[in-house]
Structure 1
């Protein structure tokens, strides 16, 4: 298998938006709030994944450097829609001028990704060009040929390994033209979103990842999202499956497997995010954190052992 220079160890997706904050409103967590979050995560999760190159991400990198914190970061670029997706259940259709503005914004975002990766080369260990923008249900579809453009632009400008983060399904066929351009593949897997019981959850996750590995032999595969919801109104999953007790079991099983295989796996996610999804307080998108929005540990993080070292 192709070798890549990335760390292994405990990893988590971090988005620090609190009550009244969101990327949509452009109200971002303060430097002090981010520092508070990083102190909470530091004993357990030395590898972080950031989703975009907004002021939030820039502040995270600034705090890590200023406070000399021993984190390494996968830095992402958020890519908005570049075409309509008439099959998306919750939107995905835009006027022509909206798509043109989104395409222009994507070029700017990719430029920020390059600039931050260069400026924080000591902290950023890899870069991800986009997130879930080729899967059939996405409301921000980017055509594969445009993904090739964005990835090639980034690879020509940064020294870090380059990836793209996507649900496991497009990797099996749709994304085959993109794979040779990437240093490694990043897979998302969510058994609870696919109505799986906790007893079959880890086997399902393993099947998802291994199916991608079989489709692209020799190409390294990491997990950039795997997690378990703790509250739900039943949209997209069995409501009774969304429970802290089941999140704790899935996390324990997931970490045992990925630790044993020394497979990089980013748990989704650090903190609950109330800005996400519908206004319904039981909207499942809001409830994936290992900590509540008030920074209280859920059952999965109670008595969770600290890591001995920050990263391999």
Structure 2
């Protein structure tokens, strides 16, 4: 009897020890997954992308939780682990956080983090009245409060708060504010972190055009911008060679020495120059920050390339727009930023038709790496070949290649940029 008792006791003890060890192992695994913004940003294992996911021509039609979960699975399959959202005025961002939380509950290995944007406006923005760029909108306070609440509700997912999107650049004539407004709210969030009202590991930034971060016209070099550079945890800058193919086309046009090259080689050379253009804008921000005696991480909050345009960037304009060029730009920008430990929020994941709802061919509707139907554009074709999307769908549609995967058909639509002596309409 004693032998039996001792044997049972030993088995129970072993079971208890195994259970304790298992809990300790689970705890270690969970702790390992709790990474911070400092560990995520600059780490090429955490690819980043801007995400909207709207299907309709109006944001009044919000993506459903199941649709958001579908999209998150697609992005996760291609190695994306960090997405960027833009406002908390609409149900969109809270729904994304809920979708990610559900995915994590269903599969503890699922990993996706969020740079949560809080939209910032000036007084009278979007009202039909004259915007007052020296006074902020009364809506900003509520927007920041909602962002704080969500960051505290989902601390395992929200790793970054961004105050404003292109909110300081002066070409955003409908809504831009002075740097003092962004500084006010960045300081507010940093104060909350210091007092325990937000996680100390949460990083705070503002995501804006390279010029707004001191990389362009000296009119942006103000005392408030200097204070802002010192207040944020890192710089999130935007760079768009695509748009500059129209507005600042000197880098884009085919130089005389390349006039006799085959058309596709002219395109390849132009895309190499486009990368150089983005790198130069990055360096200009870096140089300005260093001129202030500040050492601070600089990451790319937005850059991208559209695939359809009937305007400035189309066949009658700079001829910048097609999937082949998008594919080259995506490859080049990812290779550069990954090699330099720069996080790049590529713009964007999926096409969205609400941005230029009255013009289906408008470029703003076509920056996605996937079409509305979930077709993989040229930059993502290799991932389709690898089978990473097998079993995944978007709104019931399997992930297939655009152009039925025929690269020659795709290339047949590609035009080289204008030559230096050509005029652009």
Task: Tell me which interval the TM-score lies in, with the shorter structure as reference length.
Answer: 0.7 to 0.9
Asked if 1:205 is matched to 2:282, the reply is no
Deviation at 1:6, TM superposition (A): 4.1
Alignment CA distance shift 1:6-1:21 (3 Å): farther
Superposed counterparts of 1:1-312, under 5 Å: 5-7=38-40, 8=43, 9-22=46-59, 25=60, 27-44=61-78, 45-53=80-88, 54-68=90-104, 69-82=110-123, 94-95=129-130, 103-138=137-172, 139-157=174-192, 158-159=198-199, 160-172=202-214, 173=218, 174=220, 175-195=225-245, 196=252, 197-217=270-290, 218-235=295-312, 238=317, 240-277=319-356, 279-304=358-383
Root-mean-square deviation over aligned CA pairs: 2.3
Deviation at 1:214, TM superposition (A): 0.8
Instruction: Structure 1 unaligned segments of length 5 or more: list them.
Output: 85-90, 307-312
Deviation at 1:21, TM superposition (A): 3.9
Deviation at 1:177, TM superposition (A): 3.2
Deviation at 1:272, TM superposition (A): 0.6
Q: In the TM superposition, what whole-angstrom CA distance separates every residue of 1:4-46 from its partner, at most 9, and x where no partner exists?
A: 7140231100101102441xx3x31110110111111111211
SS of 1:5's partner is helix
Deviation at 1:80, TM superposition (A): 2.4
SS of 1:75's partner is strand
Instruction: Structure 2 unaligned segments of length 5 or more: list them.
Output: 1-36, 105-109, 193-197, 246-251, 253-269, 389-425
Q: How many residue pairs were aligned?
A: 293
Deviation at 1:141, TM superposition (A): 0.9
Whether the aligned pair in 2 keeps the contact of 1:92 and 1:140 (CA below 8 Å) is no
Alignment CA distance shift 1:110-1:6 (3 Å): farther
Deviation at 1:47, TM superposition (A): 1.1
Whether the aligned pair in 1 keeps the contact of 2:313 and 2:320 (CA below 8 Å) is no
Q: Hey, which of these two has a bigger chunk of helix by percent?
A: 2
SS of 2:336's partner is helix
Whether the aligned pair in 1 keeps the contact of 2:239 and 2:302 (CA below 8 Å) is yes
The higher relative CO (CA closer than 8 Å, separation ≥ 6) is in: 1
State how far apart, in whole Å, the 1-side matches of 2:356 and 2:178 are: 24
TM-score when normalising by structure 2 = 0.65
